[in-house]
Structures are given as structure tokens and as C-alpha cells.
Chain A
Amino acid sequence: MTATIVAQQAINGIVLGSLYVLVALGLTLIYGVLVQINFAHADFVTLGAFAAYFVMHALGGQYLLGIVAALLVGAALGWAINITVFAPLRRKGNELLPLIATIGVSVMLQNAMLAWFGPVPYAFETPYSQKVFRVAGTFFTLQSVIIIAVSATTIALLYAFMKFTFLGKALRAVAQDRETAGLMGINPNTLIMLTIVISSALAGMGGAMLAPVLVLTPFAGASVIVKAFAIVIIGGFGNVEGTILAGLLVGLIESFTTQYLDPGLIDIVVFGLLLLMLAFRPTGLISERREENV
């Protein structure tokens, strides 16, 4: 019985951790390239969740197309906000302005979603949520399998993009030294735009994956973003591999804290770990020089 429970909570933790990773990756990517925190990331997640919800329902339950729609909506939103808000503010040369603007964008998006979608929680049931598999005393849904598959594929694609494509290498060059990359013929503004678009697309897709788990309201993203920030810090700000590891670790911590301690203690345990990391290993789980993180 105990072994079954341990196995079950491990499954729960990995599924939850995979969701956290999807959200946290976008945050860490933006920090790695722009050295900027995006407070509106949570709302990109929420908007992605709503996009998936409405597309899925419009297409008669096509959840997978909902995920694609959320990814596209996230990317389009990132592009639009960069063009209209972030890029003009960056040109002013004050790094604080885009940071404050992300807070403004967050409040604006939350209230716009409140006006569009209303405050009543949406029930996001995918055709896969009710398909439950029971194996050797454990259970998991088809939805969980999709979450892990999509997360793993996304991580692999992102890794391949960063390591093996010209654009990925150019992104890393901009992260290392924006001015020098510019002198080498790389347009930093284009690469910054690309980073924001990828990050927002990840947030949108994360929203689509989280939506069946989240209590879907216009404030849904806010409930996971604090954990995502903690994951980014534990993993090492801007460090993709560290973020993946930290996301899975936090998911497992949540599951086992629920089982053996108390769900009310989850935040104490997670943020206690965050404080310990800041005190004893501020560079994160995987220590790297910041300029090599992305």
C-alpha cells in the first residue's frame, strides 16, 4: 500500500511539475535574454487557457487543436505587446520602464478578461480528463499522459532550437552580450522579439495544459505564477536545465508534502527551499555563468 501511494504521488508530482516547467520556461527565457522579469506572464497563461477553452468548444471537443490555438494566441499576444509597449519603452534606455510596464499589462489583461469572460469559474473538461487508467493500484488520466508528452516534446524542441539552429545560437549570443552580438550582424531587437514571442507562446500553451487543472477564472494564472517564480529562482534565473529540474522537484515536493505532512504546508516547504537556495546556492540548482544560461 505504501509503495503504491509513493508511486502514485510520484506520478502526481511529475505531472504537476511538468505543468510548472511549461510556465516557468517562458519566464526564465525572458530573463536569460533580456534580464527582465515579466509580471504579465501569468496573464498570458490565463489567456492561453481561455483560448484553448473556447477553441476546443467551438471545434466540438478538439482539445489538441485548443493547445495549438493557445500557443498561437500566446505568440500573437507577445508580439503585439512587444511592438506596442515593451519595444518603445526599451528604446528609452531605462530598464525599469519595461518592468513596470509588465505590471501594467498584467492588470490591464486581468481586467479585460474579467470583462470578457466574467468572474464565474469555467469547467474545462477535456475529452481526456475522464479517461482514467488504473495500473497496479495507481491511477492516471489520459490528460496526464498528454501533459507529460507535450511538456517533454516542448522541452526537447526548445533545447534543439537553442543548441542547433542559427536563431537559437544567435539568441544565446544576444544573451551573452547584446552589443557584441549586434556588431556581429545579429539584430538584437529581432532576437528580443523572438524571445518574447517564444516565451509568450510557451505561456499560452502552458495555459492550455493547465486549464483542466486550474480553477479557470481571469485570475487563474496568478495562482501558479508565484510557484513559477520560485522554480525559476531555485533552478537559477535564466537557466533552462535548472528550471526543468526545479519544476519537477517542486511538483514532487507538493505531492509528498500533501501525503506525509499537510497541503497547508506546501508553500512553507517550497518557499523555505527557495530561501535556502538564495542563502546557500544563489546561482540555482545547476550552477552556470549567467551569460551561458540560455
Chain B
Amino acid sequence: MRQQHLLVATSALGLIASVAIGGANAQDKTIKIGALLPMSGPGAYFGSQDKQGIELALEQLNKSMVNGYKFTIQYEDSACSPLPASQAAKRLLDQYKPDVIIGEECSDATLAIMPIIEQAKVPMINAGSSALKITDPGNPYTFRIMPNEVMQGVDIASQAYNKLNARTAVLLFENTNAGIGNAKVFKETFEKLGGKILAEIGFGRDVNDFTSIATRVAGLGKIDVIPTYTLEGQGLKITQALAQAGVVKGGDGPAIQLGTIWLPFGFEQKAGKAATGYVRIVQFDPTDPRDMVKNFVSAFKAKFNSDPTHLNAHAYDQIMLIADVVKRGAKDAQSIRDMLAQTKSFVGVTGSVEFDKNNQNVKMDTIHYMETQPDLSWKALKWN
């Protein structure tokens, strides 16, 4: 009888222990994601929109988990600026100890974070910074899923020359790594094709009134295109000032403003009539007929009661790419890095991903050219 009691007690203890161990394992099977995103300052709209995409992806993934792993996230405000970004990265690595990081949006901030995450040997997936240096030479721990400034710049300059028959251009750009870099690539490509750059006008992020810049542009003679590289707030003011000065189509002028993915969806509605004729790259086409995109759009609408932007979509894809490498067997920082480097055929809502030896996505199917119509809707130009 006593032996029987002992047996039952031992079995019970064993069961409790196995449950406890099992529970501990289940608890341990977590992929910790650190998010370094701008939550304050002029780039804060990136962070707020990224966060929506992330939350939707995590909600979907954690319902069923991936290979038994659940995903958790911690956000740090990196403010689109090198110093706060570096501090946020150190804080995140010291305190949260993530397996993988996503961010930053602004190139200067991303470049500042890169040596820190390399030293910590934690991979980072970037979806918003276009500066070439991020992946050329880059480092083994930084991955970029969007086209870099050269890929975008060469394409947009070629399209301007060939499709819009542009022969003269004025470059407007913020004085940051990304702004200067993007403008430089456009200039080199456009001049090589035979175009002429009439002026290169850079400005700080503290400039508010663009009337003086528009006046200068108006005095430069016949301008075909005005490639513009700024964040949303300054972009709005530039577009409106150029229209007031009668330079661009939105102000009944001849010039066409060209933009990149820096501007979020909804820019046209804010800029109003001034945005008419604006041609820009967007990296997510909400009318894409693929089921994956349709499901994403409907899930996003159901959760946030609004249409997703390319920033929402990019952030969603970053998390889904992490889930993809976990599905392929990754379980910690090093294996996530290694699996990311081997990524050849990830398909997300923005497009597909295949990393080259520098961890740059080589796919160009995320670039869509849109022209703003007088009713502020988009017309897909289908140039790619």
C-alpha cells in the first residue's frame, strides 16, 4: 500500500515536473522582436503606421504560432535621427535582448544603428531606408527588403527620360544621407542619358516655408521634372509652394514633380489640387489582385477601419519574413540571420524578396508608378 502511494506520488511529481518543463519550453519558445521606429519628431508618422502593420501580423501569427514559436515585440523610439536611434538600439539590446530587430525608417538613423547590432550579432530587417551604404558594403546583420537608392534612382531617372521625355530637371532634397544620395543617383543617371540638371537645392528639416525655394525654381527657365526627396510634412509644403509659383502641373505649370516611397498614402488628399500630375513610386499596390493582398487589405480594414498604406504593408511583411525564417527552422539571432541570408523566394504583400550577397533585396516588383489625377485619385502608369 505504502509502495503504491510512493508510486502514485512519484508519478504525480513526474507529471508535474514534465508539465512544468513542457510549460517552460512553451514559454521559452518565443521569438523576441525589437522595433526601432520613429515615434516622435517629423518622421513619427512612419512609426505609427509601421506599428499598425506589425500588430496585425503578430495578431495573425500568434493565433496559431509558427513551429511552436510565438512572437513578442518591444518598441523603442528611434526618432529618425542618429543619436536617439543609437541610444534606443543600445537600450533595446541591453534590456530586451531581442532575437531580431526591425527598423529604422530613416537612413541616417539606420546607418547609426548598424554597427551596434553587428557588434551584438542581432539581425535587423530594414524596409524604409534607401541609402546605398546600408547594403553596400553594409554588414552581415543588416537586411533590406526594399530597393536601395540606386535601384530606385536609376529607375526613376530612366523612366523620366524615356517615358516622360524629360530633358531638364531640378533636384529638391533634404540634406540627409538618403536625400543627398537619392538626388545624386538621379543626377548621374539622368545626365548619362543626356538630360540636364538645372539646379540641386538641398535644405534642412527645419525649413518650413518653401515659397522662396519655389521662387528660385520658377526663375530657372523651362523645367520638365522636379524629383523631390523629403518626408511627408515638407513634401506637402513644397508641392503647394511649387503650385503657387505656377511651376508644376498642380499650379497650371509645365513641370512634373517626381516622388518616391518616402511619402505615405493620403499625401495627395492633403496636398490638394497642387498634387495633380505628381508622379511617384509606391511600393504597395492595394488593388493587387493576389489573394494574399486582398486578405491583408480586408484584415487591416477590419482591425483599423482604414485602408492600409505602403508603410503598414512593409511593416507587415517584415514580421512575416521573420515568421518565414522561423518556419524554415530559425530559432535564435544567429540562425535567423543565417536563414534570412538564404532567403530566395519570400513573397509578401508588397512584393517578393531575394537577398544578394550584401543582404539587399534584388527584386524590383515592389515599384509601382502612380500619377495623381485631378480628382486626386491614382492612375497606375504600369512602367515596370
B-binding residues in A (CB < 8 A): 1, 4-5, 8-9, 12-13, 15-16, 19, 114, 118-123, 125, 129-130, 132, 134, 139, 141, 210, 213-217, 219, 223-224, 226, 254-255, 258-259, 262-264, 266-267
Q: Which chain A residue lies CB-closest to B45?
A: A120
Q: What's the Cα separation between A139 and B244 when bound, in Å?
A: 8
**In the assembled complex, how far is the CB of residue A156 from the closest CB belonging to chain B, in whole angstroms?**
24
Q: What's the Cα separation between A134 and B251 when bound, in Å?
A: 12
Report B327-354 residues with CB < 8 Å from chain A CB. Answer: none
- How many of chain B's residues have a CB under 8 angstroms from any CB in A? 40
- Interface window among B11-19, B139-147, B198-206, B290-298: B198-206
Q: What's the Cα separation between A120 and B236 when bound, in Å?
A: 12
- Neighbour of B201 across the interface among A19, A139, A262, CB < 8 A: A262
Q: Give chain B residues whose Cβ lies under 8 Å from the Cβ of A132.
A: 244, 246, 251
Top 9 A-B residue pairs of the complex, sorted by shortest distance between their CB atoms = A119-B44, A215-B233, A123-B270, A258-B212, A121-B233, A263-B203, A120-B45, A255-B212, A12-B211
Q: What's the Cα separation between A214 and B273 when bound, in Å?
A: 19
Question: Beyond A120-B264, A213-B237: 8 further Cβ-contacts under 8 Å?
Answer: A9-B215, A15-B211, A210-B208, A213-B209, A254-B209, A258-B216, A259-B216, A263-B213
Q: What's the Cα separation between A130 and B204 when bound, in Å?
A: 25
B240 on the A face (CB < 8 A): yes
Q: Which chain A residue lies CB-closest to B264?
A: A120
- Interface window among B35-43, B56-64, B65-73: B35-43
Q: What's the Cα separation between A41 and B125 when bound, in Å?
A: 40
Q: Give chain B residues whose Cβ lies under 8 Å from the Cβ of A141.
A: 244
**In the assembled complex, how far is the CB of residue A56 from the closest CB belonging to chain B, in whole angstroms?**
15
From A13, A118, A258, name the one whose CB has the most chain B CB atoms within 10 angstroms: A258
B277 on the A face (CB < 8 A): no
> B221-243: contact bitstring with A at CB < 8 Å (1 yes, 0 no)?
00000000000111011001000
Q: Which chain A residue lies CB-closest to B251?
A: A132
Q: Give chain A residues whose Cβ lies under 8 Å from the Cβ of B269.
A: 123
Q: Are B246 and A134 within 8 A (Cβ)?
A: yes
Q: Which chain B residue lies CB-closest to A224?
A: B208
8 contacts between A and B (CB under 8 A): A4-B219, A118-B48, A120-B264, A125-B272, A132-B251, A139-B246, A263-B202, A264-B203
Q: Are A223 and B208 within 8 A (Cβ)?
A: yes
Q: Give chain A residues whose Cβ lies under 8 Å from the Cβ of B40.
A: 114, 119, 219
Q: Are A215 and B212 within 8 A (Cβ)?
A: no
Q: Are B48 and A119 within 8 A (Cβ)?
A: yes
Q: Give chain B residues whose Cβ lies under 8 Å from the Cβ of A16.
A: 209, 211-212
B103 on the A face (CB < 8 A): no
Q: What's the Cα separation between A291 and B62 when bound, in Å?
A: 68
- Neighbour of B208 across the interface among A4, A119, A125, A215, CB < 8 A: A215
Q: Give chain A residues whose Cβ lies under 8 Å from the Cβ of B201.
A: 262-263
**In the assembled complex, how far is the CB of residue A136 from the closest CB belonging to chain B, in whole angstroms?**
14
- Neighbour of B41 across the interface among A15, A219, A259, CB < 8 A: A219
Q: Are A263 and B233 within 8 A (Cβ)?
A: no
Q: Give chain B residues whose Cβ lies under 8 Å from the Cβ of A123.
A: 236, 269-272
B177 on the A face (CB < 8 A): no
Q: What's the Cα separation between A13 and B41 when bound, in Å?
A: 27
B53 on the A face (CB < 8 A): no
Q: What's the Cα separation between A120 and B215 when bound, in Å?
A: 28
Q: What's the Cα separation between A36 and B207 when bound, in Å?
A: 27
Q: Give chain B residues whose Cβ lies under 8 Å from the Cβ of A19.
A: 209
Q: Are B232 and A121 within 8 A (Cβ)?
A: yes
**In the assembled complex, how far is the CB of residue A6 from the closest CB belonging to chain B, in whole angstroms?**
10
Q: Are B202 and A262 within 8 A (Cβ)?
A: yes
Q: Give chain A residues whose Cβ lies under 8 Å from the Cβ of B271.
A: 123
From B49, B206, B211, B269, name the one whose CB has the most chain A CB atoms within 10 angstroms: B211
Q: Are B44 and A9 within 8 A (Cβ)?
A: no
B308 on the A face (CB < 8 A): no
Q: What's the Cα separation between A226 and B206 when bound, in Å?
A: 10
From A1, A123, A141, A262, name the one whose CB has the most chain B CB atoms within 10 angstroms: A123
Q: What's the Cα separation between A120 and B272 when bound, in Å?
A: 17
**In the assembled complex, how far is the CB of residue A180 from the closest CB belonging to chain B, in whole angstroms?**
42
Q: Give chain A residues whose Cβ lies under 8 Å from the Cβ of B175.
A: 264
Q: Which chain B residue lies CB-closest to A15?
A: B211
B245 on the A face (CB < 8 A): yes
B47 on the A face (CB < 8 A): yes
Q: Are B272 and A130 within 8 A (Cβ)?
A: yes
Given A119-B40, A130-B273, A219-B40 in contact, is the A263-B244 Cβ separation under 8 Å? no
Q: Are B47 and A119 within 8 A (Cβ)?
A: yes
> B245-281: contact bitstring with A at CB < 8 Å (1 yes, 0 no)?
1100001000000000000100001111100000000
Q: What's the Cα separation between A114 and B213 when bound, in Å?
A: 30
From A4, A16, A122, A263, name the one whose CB has the most chain B CB atoms within 10 angstroms: A263
Q: What's the Cα separation between A266 and B212 when bound, in Å?
A: 12
Q: Give chain B residues whose Cβ lies under 8 Å from the Cβ of A216.
A: 233
Q: Are B212 and A120 within 8 A (Cβ)?
A: no
Given A121-B232, A263-B212 in contact, is the A223-B206 Cβ separation under 8 Å? yes
Q: What's the Cα separation between A120 and B203 when bound, in Å?
A: 21
- Neighbour of B240 across the interface among A122, A129, A219, A223, CB < 8 A: A129
From A19, A119, A130, A266, name the one whose CB has the most chain B CB atoms within 10 angstroms: A119
